[in-house]
């Protein structure tokens, strides 16, 4: 690895000021602007990328040339970055979107994408000789910085709003940081932290203004670009690929700002052929960016003084300079700012866990809720290539989602133990009661992936016995034999198709009363609709119903 990356220089975003990158000033010495970017010698890097990357470990430091640390001796790394890009198969099938990909940032060392930021920021602090620092956080920055500070030998003062779940706070304390709870909003917590740092003369992390934060987040873009071709092929005459959409829940907005810069660098080096559209998702009760954009404001943001959301991780009322930057990008290039309610976020959280096995914290689920909304509005097209940042892992905030009834209790007889049956038998008896599958549902579907999705949706409601058949004739025989309470019927099947199965069922006096819900990928002709007539209970189009729609239909017919 290079000791000295591609001659980084510091450049003002507002005027033409430039200097070699060493110790960044807090503002532009020429115009006083607060936004300085690092630029590199892209020509020399483009001569060695992507070949030079081939033997390197898959973590964010494989992009060493474009990360501004001067000396590898200061590098603090726990293998952050290099997270998998997963295809959301079941979700995609349900929504009718073949190209939803999940950048699984839960898999960072402390469980969120802040680990990228921590690795670069703390390494750079070490390079500057800093041994004590102040940070304000809604949780994840404090956790991540604390872990990396432990390795760097930095004493960290973590200022947290008291709204942060106590489990997260305890983790910060566990790493040995000083935890300061501020009983107020995050914005006020930031002010208190700034005052404390100024008074004590301690280095303070500068959030979005922090160069390391933005520079680290661009590695998300590098990785997506490198990973996407395995699913959808490379770009036009480029080795790497840009998605149509990058979706993320935002508070300060440094993720999308960094991702945008990452793609600009890749574009400049000829590694991708275009820029993505950014979708920035916020909570309806704390959506300063969304509100300001809707009002047509581009150059400044109207802060939300009193955030109303349970999603504390992204409850930033005043996002600062990221907003004008992102607003201009979205206006010029396309993209979206969208708000979702907490309820929509909790629903998305549940859907992602149930369908694709991804349990995430609410802040991450919010991005998926935004995806659902933008698809419904037609802003995102169903055939576009979509990457959602799954930005952080589950934390006990899901208390709000699950209520008290997330476990089932087994009660063993206690009063007269000598009369009770042997423990194991009693235990099994209670389990049987719990697992009373009162209704049976037959799935007649030839496509195994579609059958899996239907099965999965039913499995998340414990009390269905599920029967499956892969073609019409086998399915009809199964229904005649098992007499299910309801049939889910695909129309397009080899051999005997769904229409024929339906006619056979209706002609059989024993089975004609079994409700049938048709699930189809086919646009029906009017003749076909007529043929179904009033013989079915409901017609559901693949890609156009949610798990709840389907369960609603089934519940109506089986209680
Ligand atoms: C910080 C954070 C966000 C928001 O990130 P920004 O790009 O800085 O707005 C989203 N999700 C999680 C889990 C986070 O920790
Ligand atoms: Zn300037």
Check whether residue 368 and residue 458 sit in a common domain: no
> 460-508 pLDDT, tens per residue?
776 788 999 999 999 999 999 999 999 999 999 999 999 999 999 999 9
The tokens describing 163, both together, are 């709204």
CB-based contacts of 376, cutoff 8 Å, min separation 6: none
Mutating to test ligand 1, I would choose from 140, 209, 217, 280 the residue with most ligand atoms within 8 A of its C-beta, which is 140
Check whether residue 130 and residue 204 sit in a common domain: yes
pLDDT tens for each residue of the chain, 559 residues long: 444 567 899 999 889 999 998 888 888 899 988 888 999 999 999 999 999 999 999 999 999 999 999 999 999 999 999 999 999 999 999 999 999 999 999 999 999 999 999 999 999 999 999 989 999 998 999 999 999 999 988 889 999 988 888 888 888 888 888 888 888 888 888 888 888 888 888 999 775 578 999 999 999 999 999 999 999 999 999 999 999 999 999 999 999 999 999 999 999 999 999 999 999 999 999 999 999 999 999 999 999 988 999 998 888 999 988 999 999 999 999 999 999 999 999 999 999 999 999 999 999 999 999 999 999 999 999 999 999 999 999 765 445 555 555 555 555 555 554 554 444 555 555 555 555 667 899 999 999 889 988 988 888 776 788 999 999 999 999 999 999 999 999 999 999 999 999 999 999 999 999 999 999 887 889 999 998 988 898 899 888 888 888 888 888 887 6
Tell me whether residue 49 is in a domain. no
Residue 156 belongs to a domain with what CATH number? 3.40.50.1100
Check whether residue 349 and residue 460 sit in a common domain: no
Domains in the chain: how many in total? Answer: 2
Atom of ligand 1 nearest to the CA of 322: 9
Check whether residue 419 and residue 432 sit in a common domain: no
547 in Cβ contact with 354 (< 8 Å): yes
CB neighbour class for 61 (10 Å; exposed up to 12, middle 13-18, buried from 19): buried
Helix (H, G, I), strand (E, B) or coil at 88: coil
CA separation for the pair 131, 69 (Å, rounded): 17
Residue 102 CB–ligand 1 contact under 6 Å = no
Check whether residue 167 and residue 290 sit in a common domain: yes
Residue 288 CB–ligand 1 contact under 6 Å = no
Check whether residue 177 and residue 254 sit in a common domain: yes
**Rounded to the nearest whole angstrom, what is the distance from the C-alpha of residue 209 to the centroid of ligand 2?**
14
Chosen domain end from 423, 454, 474: 423
Tell me whether residue 208 is in a domain. yes
Q: Tokens 């779940």 map to which residue?
A: 165
The tokens describing 40, both together, are 């590199």
Tell me whether residue 514 is in a domain. yes
Check whether residue 181 and residue 282 sit in a common domain: yes
Check whether residue 418 and residue 454 sit in a common domain: no
Ligand 2 (single-atom ion) residues, CB below 5 Å: 12, 14-15, 17, 28, 30-31, 33
Residue 250 CB–ligand 1 contact under 6 Å = yes
288 in Cβ contact with 352 (< 8 Å): no
**Domain membership of residue 550 as a residue range:** 426-558
Alpha-helical runs (H) found in 161-283: 166-174, 186-200, 211-227, 229-232, 254-268
**Rounded to the nearest whole angstrom, what is the distance from the C-alpha of residue 542 to the centroid of ligand 1?**
33
Give the number of whichever ligand sits closest to the CA of residue 19. 2
Chosen domain end from 423, 443, 465: 423
446 in Cβ contact with 494 (< 8 Å): yes
Tell me whether residue 122 is in a domain. yes
Residue 289 CB–ligand 1 contact under 6 Å = no
CA separation for the pair 338, 411 (Å, rounded): 47
Residue 213 CB–ligand 1 contact under 6 Å = no
DSSP letters for 266-282: HHHTTSSSSPPEEEEEE
420 in Cβ contact with 330 (< 8 Å): no
Atom of ligand 1 nearest to the CA of 256: 7
472-509 exposure pattern, b = at least 16 Cβ within 10 A, e = fewer? bebbbebbeeeebbbbbbbbebeebbbbebbebbbeee
Tell me whether residue 62 is in a domain. no
Instruction: Specify which residues 155 forms β-bridges with.
Output: 132
- Pick left, alpha or beta for residue 286 (phi over 0 → left; psi -120 to 50 → alpha; otherwise beta): beta
CA separation for the pair 15, 472 (Å, rounded): 70
**Closest to 71 in 3D by CA, of 131, 1, 4:** 4
Helix (H, G, I), strand (E, B) or coil at 338: strand
Residue 360 CB–ligand 1 contact under 6 Å = no
Question: What is the 8-class DSSP label of residue 42?
Answer: H
**Rounded to the nearest whole angstrom, what is the distance from the C-alpha of residue 35 to the centroid of ligand 2?**
8
CA separation for the pair 550, 528 (Å, rounded): 22
- How high is the pLDDT of residue 177? 87
Tell me whether residue 445 is in a domain. yes
Q: Tokens 């576009």 map to which residue?
A: 384
> 174-197 pLDDT, tens per residue?
888 888 888 888 888 888 888 888
Q: Tokens 């099965």 map to which residue?
A: 455
The protein residue with its alpha carbon nearest to ligand 1, atom 15, reads 140
CA separation for the pair 129, 351 (Å, rounded): 46
How distant, in Å, are the alpha carbons of 15, 19, 96, 242, 318 from that of 32?
Answer: 10, 14, 50, 35, 21
Residue 473 belongs to a domain with what CATH number? 3.40.50.2300
The tokens describing 228, both together, are 């996407």
CA separation for the pair 401, 345 (Å, rounded): 10
**Rounded to the nearest whole angstrom, what is the distance from the C-alpha of residue 27 to the centroid of ligand 2?**
8
Tell me whether residue 56 is in a domain. no
334 in Cβ contact with 326 (< 8 Å): no
**Rounded to the nearest whole angstrom, what is the distance from the C-alpha of residue 434 to the centroid of ligand 1?**
40
Check whether residue 383 and residue 485 sit in a common domain: no
Torsion of CA 435, 437, 441, 447, to 10 degrees: 10
Check whether residue 554 and residue 434 sit in a common domain: yes
Give the number of whichever ligand sits closest to the CA of residue 37. 2
Check whether residue 469 and residue 370 sit in a common domain: no
Chosen domain end from 408, 423, 438: 423
CA separation for the pair 482, 475 (Å, rounded): 10
DSSP letters for 193-211: HHHHHHHHT-EE--GGG-H
The protein residue with its alpha carbon nearest to ligand 1, atom 3, reads 250
Specify the pTM. 0.87
Rg (C-alpha) for the chain, rounded Å, is: 27
Tell me whether residue 252 is in a domain. yes
Element (DSSP H or E) covering residue 118: helix 114-127
Check whether residue 330 and residue 371 sit in a common domain: yes
Residue 114 CB–ligand 1 contact under 6 Å = yes
């Amino acid at each position: 690895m290079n000791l000295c990356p591609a001659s980084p220089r510091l450049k003002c975003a507002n005027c033409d000021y430039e200097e070699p990158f060493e110790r960044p000033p807090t503002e532009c010495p020429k115009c006083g602007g607060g936004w300085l970017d690092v630029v590199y010698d892209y020509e020399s890097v483009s001569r060695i990328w992507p070949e030079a990357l081939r033997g390197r470990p898959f973590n964010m430091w494989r992009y060493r040339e474009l990360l501004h640390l001067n000396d590898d001796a200061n590098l603090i790394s726990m293998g952050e970055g290099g997270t998998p890009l997963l295809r959301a198969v079941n979700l995609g099938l349900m929504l009718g979107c073949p190209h939803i990909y999940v950048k699984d940032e839960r898999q960072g060392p402390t469980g969120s994408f802040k680990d990228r930021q921590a690795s670069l920021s703390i390494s750079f602090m070490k390079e500057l000789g800093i041994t004590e620092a102040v940070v304000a956080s809604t949780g994840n920055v404090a956790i991540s910085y604390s872990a990396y500070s432990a390795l760097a030998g930095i004493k960290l003062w973590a200022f947290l709003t008291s709204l942060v779940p106590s489990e997260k706070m305890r983790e910060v304390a566990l790493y040995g940081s000083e935890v300061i709870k501020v009983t107020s909003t995050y914005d006020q917590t930031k002010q208190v932290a700034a005052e404390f740092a100024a008074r004590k003369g301690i280095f303070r992390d500068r959030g979005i203004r922090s160069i390391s934060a933005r520079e680290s987040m661009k590695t998300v873009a590098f990785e997506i670009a490198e990973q996407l071709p395995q699913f959808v092929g490379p770009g036009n005459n480029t080795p790497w690929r840009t998605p149509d959409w990058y979706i993320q829940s935002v508070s300060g907005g440094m993720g999308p700002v960094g991702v945008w810069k990452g793609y600009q660098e890749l574009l400049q080096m000829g590694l991708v052929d275009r820029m993505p559209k950014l979708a920035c998702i916020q909570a309806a009760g704390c959506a300063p960016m969304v509100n300001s954009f809707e009002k047509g404001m581009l150059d400044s943001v109207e802060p939300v003084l009193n955030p109303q959301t349970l999603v504390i991780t992204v409850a930033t009322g005043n996002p600062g300079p990221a907003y004008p930057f992102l607003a201009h990008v979205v206006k010029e290039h396309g993209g979206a700012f969208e708000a979702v309610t907490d309820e929509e976020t909790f629903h998305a959280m549940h859907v992602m866990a149930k369908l694709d096995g991804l349990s995430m914290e609410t802040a991450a689920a919010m991005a998926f809720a935004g995806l659902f909304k933008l698809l419904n509005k037609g802003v995102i097209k169903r055939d576009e290539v979509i990457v959602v940042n799954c930005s952080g892992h589950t934390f006990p905030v899901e208390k709000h989602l699950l209520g008290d009834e997330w476990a089932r209790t087994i009660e063993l007889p206690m009063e007269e133990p000598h009369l009770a049956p042997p423990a194991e038998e009693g235990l099994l008896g209670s389990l049987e009661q719990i697992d009373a599958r009162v209704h049976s549902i037959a799935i007649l579907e030839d496509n195994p992936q579609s059958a899996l999705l239907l099965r999965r949706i039913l499995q998340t409601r414990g009390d269905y016995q599920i029967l499956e058949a892969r073609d019409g004739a086998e399915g009809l025989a199964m229904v005649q034999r098992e007499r299910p309470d309801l049939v889910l019927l695909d129309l397009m099947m080899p051999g005997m198709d769904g229409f024929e199965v339906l006619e056979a069922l209706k002609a059989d006096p024993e089975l004609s009363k079994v409700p049938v819900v048709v699930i189809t990928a086919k646009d029906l002709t009017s003749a076909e609709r007529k043929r179904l007539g009033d013989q079915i209970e409901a017609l559901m189009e693949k890609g156009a119903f949610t798990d709840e729609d389907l369960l609603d239909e089934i519940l109506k017919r089986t209680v």
